[in-house]
Structure formats: C-alpha cells, structure tokens
Amino acid sequence: MDFLVNHRGIDKNCPRTWVKQDSKGVAGGFPYTEEQLIVLFRSCDINQDGRLSKQELKNMFNKLGSRFASWRVFRALHHADANGDGYISEEEFSDLVRYILFKCNYRIK
C-alpha cells in the first residue's frame, strides 16, 4: 500500500479540517472581553427594548461564529434566563456573558 491506514481505515495523511490548537488545547485567536460582548449584545437588540429575544440571540451567536446557533440559544436561555420569560434582559446580561466567556470559548480571529 502507498498510504498509511490506521485500524479504522482512515488515511493518516488525510488533511484535518478542525482548528489547530496550542499545547493547552486552546484554539487560535484572542478570547472576547466582557466589554466586547456587552457591545455585541446591545448591537443585536434590534428593537431596542433592552432584552434579547431568541431570534436576536441566534443572530448574536451567528456573529460569534457558532455552528449550532439554535442549540446555543437553548443553552444560553437555560443558563441566563433567571425569570423564565424566554428573553435575556439587561439584568441577565452578566449571566449570559459568563456563559459565553467560560462555557463557549468564542475567540476573535
């Protein structure tokens, strides 16, 4: 055989498509700061009512580069929507910021 194949039949010379990580397992780029995320949240509040709807949250996660924005919206509401109204209000922004910074690990490329 001209190529190396491991026990699962995958060519070891096949190029990888995922993001390269450093020695600590962190993808390239810089993490967002809390201030940057707050500015992003306010810019995604289309109707300027002081809270983010599910669609506005989905748009925000798309801007952050999420591949599964709808799932992230579900998880974000689970973590940050304290009153259960289906929106992230100004009072709940800090919980959403903590969720994104510590659970999602989005980075500026």
pLDDT of residue 17: 38
Distances (CA, A) of 68 to 6, 56, 73, 82, 104: 31, 15, 9, 23, 11
Pick 30 or 54 by higher pLDDT. 54
Is the confidence at residue 1, as pLDDT, over 90? no
pLDDT of residue 65: 86
55-97: per-residue pLDDT in tens?
A: 999 998 898 888 899 999 999 999 899 999 999 998 888 888 8
Other CB atoms within a 10 A radius of the CB of residue 103 amount to 12
Structure tokens at 55: 């669609």
Reduced to 3 states (helix: H, G, I; strand: E, B; else coil), residue 39 is helix
- DSSP conformational letter for 92: G
pLDDT of residue 101: 83
**What angle do the packed helices 69-80 and 54-64 form, to 10 degrees?**
120
Q: What is the pTM for the complete model shown?
A: 0.67
